[in-house]
Homo-oligomer: A and B are copies of this chain.
Amino acid sequence: MIPKRVGIKDVASAAGVSVTTVSHILNATPNTRASEETRRRVKDAARALGYGPNRLAQGLRTQRSGMIGLLSEEIATTPHAVRIILGAQEAARAHGLSLMIINSTHDANDESRRDDIAALLERQVDGILWATIMYHREVSLPSNLVGVPAVLIDARDRAGLAPGVEPDEESGARAAVTALIQAGHRRIGFVNYHGDIPATHGRLRGYRSVLAEHGIPFDESLVVAADYEALDGYAVTLPLLDRPDRPTALFCFNDRMAMGAYRAAAELHITIPEELSIVGFDNQELIAANLFPALTTVALPHYEMGVWAVDTLVRIMNGHEEDRLLSDHPTFMECPLVIRQSIAAPAL
């Protein structure tokens, strides 16, 4: 690096004071250590020399690196989860921390995971965020993460050693179905995913509970399930819409399946939203905003989870032990409804 580093020492001699004084002044130590006069001299000298502290040395000395590690599993790969990184990064910056990212593949085994954590630890990170996209949301903390300030994203620790955040699938589904009912619908189909993951069950629970609260009997024939791509949504929606007693609205497991439902409706000459209202899930802008009509859907609070995780991690790092209590139970984050144009009152 050609521009040779200017250190505290250079500032000191330039200002004609000792390094101690410089250190105190630049770190804004509470007690008015130096006179206004010297403060100015030092600050001016620092600015003139283009001084910036060497955070490595600082960290070595203070035992705080000011860095936090984000171990993300496959997350940098799935587009709509990038917002976790974004939220974490912005929250970290707000706390004066830097984010160090390691992305591992979904099939990472325990050992490679431990290696990744070790790498972060060698860098002396002050805490670690572990974001997963897994089938089972319950995980076990890797052994070398035990005792280290850590927060899980999209997962919960089996042993309750670290707090975690997850999207509140159920309330998200509730928001979606409620919107449909408020528009006047009573025959609402649910195009679910057939896999055994928390989202599947949570969203179904939300769907059922809202129906029940509105006195609408649960009709099993209105619930179908398939894989979660557009084609699967299409295949399973087609027969559902090709019935004399077809639903007037559809709640789809995700935006991709909703995309398939759009196609099924088009083929059957059913217009959206006049003859069929649709709500999706995930708020994948690329799809939701570009479908016609634009899809009303439920957003996953990835950004917010990233922020929450960092804020919580910072409190734990600062020794607020009460936050450890959060480890007992998962924290759920709201999934807000994003209203676009795919809902209308049912046709008479």
Q: Which one of A20-28, A50-58, A205-213 is at the interface?
A: A50-58
- Using CB atoms, name the residue of chain B closest to A99: B101
Q: Which one of B50, B60, B86, B101 lies within 8 Å of A89 (CB-CB)?
A: B101
Residues of B within 8 A of A119 (CB): 98
The listed residue (B83, B147, B259, B290) touching A3 by CB distance below 8 A is B147
Known: A79-B82, A118-B52. A2 touches B147 (CB 8 A): yes
Residues in chain B near residue A122, CB distance under 8 A: 52-55
Interface residues of A in 100-119 (CB under 8 A from B): 100-103, 118-119
How many angstroms between the C-alpha atoms of A119 and B80 in the bound complex? 28
Kindly state the separation between the CA atoms of A252 and B1 in the bound complex, as whole angstroms: 45
Interface size class of A (residues with CB under 8 A): 35 or more
Query: In whole angstroms, what is the CA distance A230 to B286 when docked?
Result: 9
B286 and A286 form a contact (CB under 8 A): yes
Which residue of chain B is the closest to A303 with respect to CB atoms?
Answer: B77
CB under 8 Å from chain B, chain A span 274-322:
284, 286-287, 289-292
Q: Which residue of B lies closest to A66 (CB)?
A: B123
Chain A 120-134 interface mask (CB, 8 Å, partner B; 1/0):
011110100000000
Which B residues touch A217, using CB under 8 A?
none
Whether the pair B292, A124 counts as a contact (CB closer than 8 A) is no
CB-defined contacts of A3 to chain B, threshold 8 Å:
144, 146-148
* Cβ-based interface call for A229 (8 A): yes
Given A3-B148, A118-B52 in contact, is the A86-B77 Cβ separation under 8 Å?
yes
**Does A82 contact B77, Cβ atoms closer than 8 Å?**
yes
Structural contact, B292 and A290, CB atoms closer than 8 A: no
Complex contact A292–B231 (CB within 8 A)? yes
Query: For A101, A144, A284, which residue has the most chain B Cβ atoms within 10 angstroms?
Result: A101
**Closest residue on chain B to residue A267 by CB atoms:** B266
Q: How far apart sit A83 and B76, CA to CA, in the bound complex (Å)?
A: 7
Q: Mark A62-91, 1 if CB is under 8 A from B, else 0.
A: 000101000000001101101101100110
Once the chains bind, are B290 and A230 in contact (CB under 8 Å)? yes
The closest CB in chain B to the CB of A147 belongs to B2
Q: Which residues of B contact A2 (CB under 8 A)?
A: 147-148
What residues of B have a CB within 8 angstroms of the CB of A102 in the complex? 89, 93, 98-99
A186 → B minimal CB distance (Å) = 30
- Of residues 157 through 209 on chain A, the ones whose CB sits less than 8 Å from some CB of chain B are none
With A234-B292, A290-B256 known to touch, is A56 a contact of B98 (CB < 8 Å)?
Answer: no
Contact with B along A1-32 (1 / 0, CB 8 A): 11100000000000000000000000000000
Check if A123 sits within 8 Å of B56, measured CB to CB. yes
Per-residue interface assignment for chain A, residues 207 to 249, with 1 indicating a CB less than 8 Å from any chain B CB and 0 otherwise: 0000000000000000000000111001000000000000000
